[in-house]
Amino acid sequence: MKFLSYTTILFLAAVLLTACNKDPHTPKGVLDLDHHYYAIFFPNNNTAITATRSQAALVKLPVQFYSTFTRPYDAVCKYAVTTFGVTPPAVRGVDYDVVDKNGTVLTPVSDSSFQLIFPGAVQAMDTIYLKMLNNTMPGARKFEVHILENITPEFTVDKFSTAFRRPITIN
């Protein structure tokens, strides 16, 4: 009798735990999030960086753009430099500049942000570059680079709370 009971329970458990057939025609994901992307600093954290004011090498801040699809538009990740709540604040154009990989100074767009463009909204890595200007004023200077949300009618580029800012100290 015990054998029959255990066999019946085992059979019922196997039937209940067996996966059902999945419809292969069901689209993946949630439709509302089809055009929702994420951009974060890599590695995935908000770790502070220290730069030397006299360093010739550009400071590199890698950015990971997450996407699953290729789209007919280019996704734009916005970022800004801020000194809000930071003391003593560094001054753009005096202590550092935001530049491209060749060292050419970038101009912010109308809302005071800079842009990383991801063609076709394809998942990729890009880099934010900063150039230290060897300011002779004594003492450390600080600023932060923040990845911003970019919401457009076509797409949204969002951020992770764990990797949206890079505090930078210039010594």
Q: Say which CATH number the domain at 69 has.
A: 2.60.40.2030
What local confidence, expressed as pLDDT, does residue 139 receive? 92
The tally of domains found in the chain comes to 1
Does some domain include residue 10?
no
Amino acid at 145: V
Does some domain include residue 75?
yes
Does some domain include residue 14?
no
Domain region containing 90: 32-170
pLDDT tens for residues 12-66? 766 666 656 555 555 566 676 789 999 999 999 999 999 999 999 999 999 999 9
What local confidence, expressed as pLDDT, does residue 59 receive? 97
Could you tell me if 1 and 109 are in contact, meaning their C-beta atoms sit under 8 angstroms apart? no
Q: What is the pTM of this model?
A: 0.80
Residue in the block written with tokens 């150039």 = 131
Read off the tokens for 165.
Answer: 């800012």
What local confidence, expressed as pLDDT, does residue 16 receive? 64
Does some domain include residue 159?
yes
Strand blocks (E) in the chain = 36-41, 49-51, 59-66, 75-82, 96-99, 114-118, 124-132, 141-148, 150-151, 156-158, 165-170
Sheet holding 49-51, edge to edge: 49-51, 165-170, 141-148, 75-82, 114-118
Does some domain include residue 21?
no
H or E stretch covering 10: helix 2-17
Does some domain include residue 7?
no
Does some domain include residue 6?
no
Could you tell me if 69 and 123 are in contact, meaning their C-beta atoms sit under 8 angstroms apart? no
